[in-house]
Chains A and B, each alone.
Chain A
């Protein structure tokens, strides 16, 4: 069974641009969560989607948004990029609707903002 797939693997953008990251969960998984990982702040929760609905959100500005499609694939978008948005963005999927299920993480998208 294929794991969580994130594309692209690396991205380089400049300040002010916007970026879209993609995540394909494990087949059958309906929950997709996004995390930002930086050396200074560690892993921070961005948002979670289940059945195309955002059901939880972290403390990030409105420039960070996401969505989930009917096939459970998810995208996150960051607009008006800032230098501080440079990070590894991780996507995680889980199987069931139950809360606090085991998360399966992808390899991440490394975003560099210049």
Chain B
């Protein structure tokens, strides 16, 4: 069965620090990969997605993620975080045969201190 692992459940950073959140998935076929974010009091929203092509994808608010097929990973990065990045981040995997079914990781709570 497909699964998604997010290595860090809680991350605390100071503003301007760099961020990298790990995500690994288990599925041998073609995958589509996503990062969703939930800001305090808001809906889950899409941060970025990878379907094919350039394995380095850029999303909103300066976030990027790199798909490394050999490592089954899709890590999220941001060079310099801001207080407004405080949120919960979810990695998710889908696959062509699954329509809109996504398997989500457990989430990482990021707290950025000014």
* Chain A contact residues: helix, strand, loop or mixed: strand
Chain B contributes a number of interface residues (CB within 8 A of A) equal to 24
Which of A43, A90, A101 has its CB near the most chain B CB atoms (within 10 A)? Answer: A43
Specify which chain A residues have a CB less than 8 angstroms from the CB of B107 in the assembled complex.
42-43
Interface residue tally of chain A, by bracket? 20 to 34
**A48: contacting residue among B32, B99, B104, CB under 8 A:** B99
Which of B90, B102, B103, B106 has its CB near the most chain A CB atoms (within 10 A)? Answer: B102
Specify which chain A residues have a CB less than 8 angstroms from the CB of B63 in the assembled complex.
none
Specify which chain B residues have a CB less than 8 angstroms from the CB of A35 in the assembled complex.
104
Specify which chain B residues have a CB less than 8 angstroms from the CB of A14 in the assembled complex.
none
- Tell me if B96 and A99 are in contact (CB < 8 A): yes
Kindly identify, within residues 8 to 55 of chain A, every residue whose CB is under 8 Å from any CB belonging to chain B: 31, 33, 35, 42-45, 48, 50, 55
- Tell me if B101 and A58 are in contact (CB < 8 A): yes
- Tell me if B104 and A42 are in contact (CB < 8 A): yes
Specify which chain A residues have a CB less than 8 angstroms from the CB of B103 in the assembled complex.
45
- Tell me if A103 and B104 are in contact (CB < 8 A): no
Given contacts A100-B94, A102-B49, A107-B43, contact A45 B99 (CB under 8 A): no
* Chain B contact residues: helix, strand, loop or mixed: mixed
- Tell me if A56 and B100 are in contact (CB < 8 A): yes
Q: Does B51 contact A (CB under 8 A)?
A: yes
Q: Does B18 contact A (CB under 8 A)?
A: no
Q: How far is it, in angstroms, between the C-alpha of A102 and the C-alpha of B94 when the chains are bound?
A: 11
Q: How far is it, in angstroms, between the C-alpha of A33 and the C-alpha of B98 when the chains are bound?
A: 12
Q: Does A66 contact B (CB under 8 A)?
A: no
Q: How far is it, in angstroms, between the C-alpha of A90 and the C-alpha of B100 when the chains are bound?
A: 14
- Tell me if B96 and A105 are in contact (CB < 8 A): no
**B96: contacting residue among A44, A45, A100, A103, CB under 8 A:** A100
Specify which chain A residues have a CB less than 8 angstroms from the CB of B97 in the assembled complex.
99
4 shortest A-B CB distances, which residue pairs?
A43-B104, A105-B44, A100-B94, A100-B32
Residue numbers of B with Cβ under 8 A of A are 32, 36, 43-46, 49, 51, 90, 92, 94-107
Residue numbers of A with Cβ under 8 A of B are 3-4, 31, 33, 35, 42-45, 48, 50, 55-56, 58, 90, 92, 94, 99-107
